[in-house]
Amino acid sequence: MALIFSLAIGIMAGAGIYLLLRPRTFQVIIGLSLLGYAVNLFIFGMGRLQTGVPPIITPGSAAQYADPVPQALVLTAIVIGFATLSLFLVVLLAARGLSGTDHVDGKETDEN
């Protein structure tokens, strides 16, 4: 399980990093989104992977639960990630309207 989980993080992070370095704003926003998934999964993984033990307490039983701390952190991160993504989207739309291009620098510097 851990292997697949780690590979998933790696693939999404790699795709995200590659896209972040691209010149078009749309590429960057998709990259940001993918990198966000990877980082969220990574933080979530810090609580280790357990199946079938959600941190919902059953009163009276002394059962083992999954670590709730990374989950709370990631829940916050998902919402804040949505906020930054939408802000970025609007900034890129406004920049496109103002500069007439969707290059991240607001002007066509070179072909890539």
Site for other proteins in 18-77 (CB under 8 A): 18-31, 33-34, 37-38, 40-42, 44-59, 65-69, 71-72, 74-76
Minimum distance of other proteins from residue 84's CB (angstroms): 8
Of residues 82-101, those binding other proteins (CB under 8 A): 82-87, 89-94, 96-98, 100-101
Verify binding: residue 108, other proteins, rule CB under 8 A. no
CB atoms within 10 A of CB 105: 10
Q: Measure the CA–CA gap between 44 and 72, rounded to whole angstroms.
A: 9
Instruction: Tell me, by CB under 8 A, how many residues bind other proteins.
Output: 92
Q: Least distance to other proteins from the beta carbon of 39, Å?
A: 8
Minimum gap (Å) between residue 64 Cβ and other proteins: 9
Question: In whole angstroms, how far apart are CA 107 and each of 21, 95, 104, 110?
Answer: 16, 10, 8, 9
CA 95 to chain centre: 23
Contacts from 47-52 at CB under 8 Å and sequence distance 24+?
47/71, 49/1, 49/2, 49/5
**Minimum distance from CB of 100 to other proteins (Å)?**
6
